[in-house]
A and B are shown apart, each in its own frame.
Chain A
């Protein structure tokens, strides 16, 4: 990070030091573009997000409208024509849902859960980490012991217990993921802030008697945000995986509004009967989604991390 902390020092103390400003961002994007794998992943990601966003317009059927489903159309092979015309390009599941439509809607749930859980967990974790590092003392001890406690358990176990207690539902899955994931951000944030807080600009701000909350939010936060953003990208993928796992295990989203994980689970028992498509296509969609998010996240990390340049 060649530009830091020099440009910061040169700026007036009251203004937010801008570490992620233009020259750097242009370079990050340029680096992303320069790698064909990352470029491919980014394109795949954009396509998947667009598909999920426009699912109601793209999907031939509404898989959540129970009145439109017919169990007489169940377990049809890919490419079968339905009784009233449209072709089931990816086949149907045991309830007669069009798999293509179910996957598009399932992607929506997976992305909504992944993005909103990550956003909430990152926000909470960041603020808690910031608070712990800046205030120190008993507050720090309390927060960090809680973090240790949460990280000490396997993620899936904590989420399973929470969902068994609250029942299923998209909102509850998001809540469970936030509870298990915020701790990671808090730990990273605290580490970064402890380093930043020793720097001169913070000392300067203190000397100007700027209130603590302002130093935390306006001075420290933007400067310590870079690692959080990188982790968050990768965490979106792991939140999606966690949601899929929970749904696969039967404690996630409701069975009548399947996410990708639940679609895989419901097709799982038909695999041995040769009806591969019920699990296979949602599985493929999940793999492509998670893989492309991870690839983009990795490249992002390489671009930002000075040691990896």
Chain B
């Protein structure tokens, strides 16, 4: 334990003794369904991490509840040509330790994203890898020059937290990744953030203590430039099981909880003391199919990989009764998916037909593909990451088995699942993807294209799917600055994926928040729980 944590632990204990019994109106306790894995804002691009770090760190821009870009540390931004962007920064911002915020901190932060050895690979670096140069004409202006046109640069920069350049020894800071950007000392690691020594941001809250597995305490940052949040202290408690989360709310231990089970909503409804809000999210749950000739967990009698046949993939999609999953397992707090982002969001297909459930046709398709007796597959899924993931996976296994694909399910904890999946150890797996840009390109560029590390495409294409026709359309789409043209190209790319089905969409999650009835929270499409947006009624 570091001195910081000992001190804060002692302070926490002291505060607890003083405040016990006088539960102050200024305090808020929130039960999380998924625990953040770090305080380091550049560690891993996970919803649970980003939601936490948004309390402590700001980015140049931010996104609102509908995932639309809003000003934050930058007040204005203009596109001065396909690859040139100009950002005007606020000049009244200081970090929680009192040092002023300048353009140098931004350059330092973006360099750190490229020099973050402790990060989960590929987190946050897409936009920065595309930077040809970053210049600071003065302390509060930045000019970005990108290699390729990037119409989504503003929303991407809204995800990248700005940290203070005081936390590493440095000379003159400049965007020059080859020479460490002017940093002479060691780059901070994830542990430096987790133990609190360098967790210094400009956000509305500061970290008071972080103990993995037991919770995170935040205290109001009195130096925050924006409107001061209503709550002086906020504490996040990880409670992975829905039952105990709800029990904690009903017993008064928690003021707000994430994702109570949908089947329990009637119980919340029947009480005057609690309410809830359901918000559709941009997260799609889908199946990923392995296309390699030699796939570890699937094999047809003749030794080939049946997933390579498009008829098999379509049969699998037809075998699944999405309405049943939504109704019986998600208790209607989800919507059947027919593409990879809910219709209405940018780049989605407006009138995509529902993916029909037709087990008889599915069996015919399997027979046409040469598998009248089906085949066997082991299906891998998480059991603690997505809402009801283990139950959904079992239902999918049921449906596939019924058309003759003998499916064995292996559901495991997410840390093991994610590392095995990125090691390409699975043949059929169930994943979830929330579009952090609110645009169809998010899923399409991360999962579907032939993997190209330099261009930052197909980083999660673990199944090795490769479709030149799709690749051409997508590459054109993501470099098109004109919104209408880009939208048409993304729709074309999306339609191609649904035709070929290397990924099979299942449903879109809805997020539920339940809270004391004297509080109010507007749900967010990105599923983040932000204490700053929780208000009391009076």
Contacts and interface: CB of A to CB of B under 8 A. Distances in A.
Say whether A and B bind each other. yes
Interface of A: 66-67, 69-72, 74, 94-95, 164, 167-168, 250, 254-256, 266, 268-273
Contact of B398 (A69, A168, A254): A69
Given A71-B328, A255-B409, A268-B243, A273 B395 contact: no
A272 B413 contact: no
Given A74-B328, A95-B395, A266-B390, 13 more contacts: A66-B398, A66-B401, A71-B395, A94-B394, A168-B410, A250-B411, A255-B390, A255-B394, A268-B243, A269-B242, A270-B243, A272-B246, A273-B264
A148 B329 CA distance: 48
Contacts of A269: 241-243, 261
A273 B409 contact: no
B416 interface: yes
A67 B408 contact: no
A254 B451 CA distance: 33
A74 B261 CA distance: 16
Contact of A254 (B242, B395, B409): B409
Contact of B263 (A168, A254, A273): A273
A71 B321 CA distance: 10
Contacts of B410: 167-168, 254-255
Given A95-B391, A256-B394, A256-B408, A268 B263 contact: no
A72 to B, nearest CB: 6
Nearest to A73: B328
B394 A250 contact: no
Nearest to B266: A273
B325 interface: yes
B118 to A, nearest CB: 22
7 contacts: A95-B395, A250-B412, A254-B410, A255-B383, A268-B241, A269-B242, A273-B263
Interface string B318-361: 00000011001100000000000000000000000000000000
B161 interface: no
A71 B246 contact: no
A71 B324 contact: yes
Given A250-B413, A256-B409, A67 B394 contact: no
B399 to A, nearest CB: 9
A250 B243 contact: no
Given A66-B401, A256-B408, A72 B328 contact: yes
A50 B261 CA distance: 38
Contacts, number: 69
Interface string B369-398: 000000000000001100000110011011
A269 B33 CA distance: 13
Given A72-B324, A250-B413, A255-B390, A272 B398 contact: no
B46 to A, nearest CB: 20
B243 A67 contact: no
Contacts of A271: 243
B416 A164 contact: yes
B402 interface: yes
Contacts of A72: 324, 328
Nearest to B401: A66
A95 B395 CA distance: 7
Nearest to B408: A256
Interface in B245-275: 246-247, 261, 263-264, 267
Nearest to A95: B394
A105 to B, nearest CB: 16
Contact of A71 (B247, B325, B383): B325
Nearest to B378: A254
B402 A67 contact: yes
Contacts of B416: 164
A95 B267 contact: no
A167 B420 CA distance: 12
A67 B397 CA distance: 9
A71 B409 contact: no
Contacts of B391: 94-95
A273 B261 contact: yes
B194 interface: no
Contacts of B329: 71, 74, 94
Given A71-B398, A95-B394, A273-B267, A66 B243 contact: no
B397 A66 contact: yes
Nearest to A94: B391
Contacts of B235: none
A53 B384 CA distance: 34
A272 B247 contact: yes
Contacts of A71: 324-325, 328-329, 395, 398
Nearest to A275: B263
Interface string B148-181: 0000000000000000000000000000000000
A222 B401 CA distance: 52
Contacts of A66: 397-398, 401-402, 407
Contacts of A254: 408-410
Contacts of A67: 398, 401-402
Which of B242, B328, B390 has the largest number of chain A CB atoms within 10 A?
B328
Nearest to A66: B401
Contacts of A164: 416
A162 B191 CA distance: 27
A158 B398 CA distance: 34
A256 B395 CA distance: 10
B411 A255 contact: yes
A66 B376 CA distance: 13
A272 B401 contact: no
Contacts of B408: 254, 256
B398 A95 contact: yes
A176 B401 CA distance: 31
